[in-house]
Structure 1
Amino acid sequence: MERRPRSFYALTAFFALFLVFLYGPTVTIAILSFQGPQGGLTFPMRGTSLHWFRELFEQQAVGDIWGSFRRSLVLGLMVMVTTVIVSVMGGLAFRKRFAGSTLLFYLIVTSLVIPSILISLGVGLIFDQAGLPVHWAGSGYGAQLTWTLPFGLLIMFAVFNRFDRAYEEAARDLGASPWQTIRFVVLPIIAPSLIGVALSGFTLSYDEFARTLLTAGSYNTLPLEIFGMTTNVTTPVIFALGTLTTAFSLLVIAVFLAVALVMRRRRARQASDAGRGMV
């Protein structure tokens, strides 16, 4: 058996350290969240229990945990749906060159490199000067779209750049209208990519802090609430909250991946059935 070179072990050790650096803080918080009733915010642990998770479901003296969670969930779903719809429409529009398309593309991408806090400040000022309420479902929603839409559009640009137009031509030859072609041909083919856009839109919104900081108004989203709790809460209940929110994020990712897997198997089965029918 051929021996591996020393560089392999060096790179393996480096990658292991990278994983520790990446996930170590999350694992540390998860461990500290299972402390006993007398536990603190640092090691060593003082017993083990589910005490601080139970505390989350009690009335908190500081913060509005579940209210902020509901707002983040609703806002994430709003941003997700909008991101998917606009990204698909933008991807379809950019399939053909039109006047100003290059300028519009760079304007879209530019929002990714502008400091997030400046966007938050700018959106908040626009709403305030226009006499509109600064609210998480209004100005916060708009500010977060400046973060999620560019990613969704870039994904759709890549998808449609590889899309085989022969499928659309075949549908039109069979008498399908433009809308029927999009609904029954284009959307089913790009469905896995749409799931990716939806997942990125939701997760980016759910975790967004800087763009929401000056646009949420009087009611915090969950990231803002957690940030506020760091200055007031001195018990591991904040670690328990962090553990549950991380678990929720992983659950959302797992659900989206499961949906993508089901759709992939369904398409494979349909293709297999169609192949047997042709035989």
Structure 2
Amino acid sequence: MNEGRSPAFYALAAFFCLFVLFLYGPMIVIFVLSFQGPTGGLTFPMNGVSLHWFQRLWEGGGIVDIAGAFKRSLALGLVVMVLTVLFSLTAGLAFRKRFFFSNILFFVTVASLIVPSIVTSLGIAIEFHVLDDVLKNYGPSWISDNLQTTMGQFTSGLGAHLTWTLPFGLLVMFAIFNRFDGRYEEAARDQGATPSQTLRYVVLPIVAPSVVGVGLFGFTLSWDEIARSSQTMGEHNTLPMELQALTTTVTNPDIYALGTTTTAVSFGVIAVALGSIAILRARQARHGSDAGQA
């Protein structure tokens, strides 16, 4: 018990520290450089410390329309989050029982995870181009005369993002319901609860923390997605697409301020989700304690 650490321990500890530095070092550097002074550049040493580049972004004097790109990404991320939660939860409930073609449906759903994202993006873009041709050539005149394209943020863009978020949400719900104790539902039915009451007052409160996690997956995956957005967003770019487009042309720390803003939103959503999960679990523990005392 009094023996010291072996040399292998220190070697592995050093390797782990280097790995963490490699993983988070670039992000930390970007955070720091985004606070350069008004005459600062893209590299160290820093020339002053200020919020100048963030101010330029929000005033519209920076490299992109930060307000417009931010609103588009935020709106799309919220819609993707809601739909991911709804579809994943209902699919998780449905897959608790065997039904015809359930295995095929599952594999078709998760198959999009192994298809290259750019291929998925191109395929969706081609589908909507075909739809445009059909509507323009064979659709009613009130559509064909006014139609520019059906591609857009909440059509092709939304579909592309859902092909990325839904498989993750479905896998999470599968893991939750595989560990779900069916005796809670049996006890509710014994007390005279209807199926809808059992779902609302028993099942949903138990799985609520996991549902919040699915929502977190949905928003953050959509918020940071580039490859599946590249061919499907239509005429407007999302915030990550603006950031990617500017990586080869920017000559000042605007891009660092934009990257810091994007990352800060992701961290904020994660913090809200973790706080919500902690509150829900505390409520579950309190209700369980009250039931035990009763």
Query: Same-fold call, TM > 0.5?
Result: yes
Report the number of matched residues: 277
Report the TM-score when normalising by structure 2: 0.91
Correspondence list, 1:49-60, <5 A: 49-60=50-61
- 1:161 is aligned to 178
How far residue 33 of structure 1 moved from its aligned partner, in angstroms, is: 0.9
Correspondence list, 1:66-77, <5 A: 66-77=67-78
- 1:207 is aligned to 224
How far residue 144 of structure 1 moved from its aligned partner, in angstroms, is: 0.4
How far residue 222 of structure 1 moved from its aligned partner, in angstroms, is: 0.5
Aligned counterparts of 1:184 and 1:4: Cα–Cα separation in 2: 52
How far residue 60 of structure 1 moved from its aligned partner, in angstroms, is: 2.6
20-29 vs 225-234, which moves further: 225-234
Q: 1:197 aligns with which of 201, 214, 224?
A: 214
The superposition leaves residues 52-96 of structure 1 with CA deviations (integer Å, 9 ceiling, x where unpaired) of 122122223642211111111111111111111111111111111
Q: 1:218 aligns with which of 220, 232, 235?
A: 235
Instruction: Please say if 1:183 is aligned against 2:184.
Output: no
Structure 2 residues without counterparts, runs of 5 or longer: 133-148
Correspondence list, 1:68-147, <5 A: 68-131=69-132, 133-147=150-164
RMSD: 1.3
Task: State percent identity of aligned pairs.
Answer: 59
Aligned counterparts of 2:62 and 2:261: Cα–Cα separation in 1: 19
Task: For residue 228 of structure 2, give the secondary structure of its aligned residue in structure 1.
Answer: helix
- 1:15 is aligned to 16
Distance 1:136 1:59, change over 3 A: same
140-149 vs 48-57, which moves further: 48-57
Q: 2:261 aligns with which of 225, 235, 244?
A: 244
How far residue 9 of structure 1 moved from its aligned partner, in angstroms, is: 1.0
Aligned counterparts of 2:51 and 2:78: Cα–Cα separation in 1: 30
Instruction: Please say if 1:5 is aligned against 2:6.
Output: yes
How far residue 241 of structure 1 moved from its aligned partner, in angstroms, is: 1.4
Letter in 2 for 1:251: G
Letter in 2 for 1:217: G
- 1:65 is aligned to 66
Structure 1 residues without counterparts, runs of 5 or longer: none
The superposition leaves residues 130-177 of structure 1 with CA deviations (integer Å, 9 ceiling, x where unpaired) of 125110111100000000000000011111111111111111111111
Task: For residue 259 of structure 1, give the secondary structure of its aligned residue in structure 2.
Answer: helix
Instruction: Please say if 1:43 is aligned against 2:44.
Output: yes
Report the TM-score when normalising by structure 1: 0.96
Aligned counterparts of 1:248 and 1:78: Cα–Cα separation in 2: 16
Task: For residue 113 of structure 2, give the secondary structure of its aligned residue in structure 1.
Answer: coil
How far residue 233 of structure 1 moved from its aligned partner, in angstroms, is: 2.6
Instruction: Please say if 1:174 is aligned against 2:191.
Output: yes
Aligned counterparts of 2:100 and 2:245: Cα–Cα separation in 1: 47
204-213 vs 238-247, which moves further: 238-247
Aligned counterparts of 1:139 and 1:230: Cα–Cα separation in 2: 25
The superposition leaves residues 175-202 of structure 1 with CA deviations (integer Å, 9 ceiling, x where unpaired) of 1111111111111011111111010110
Runs of 4+ in 1 over 4 A off after TM superposition: none
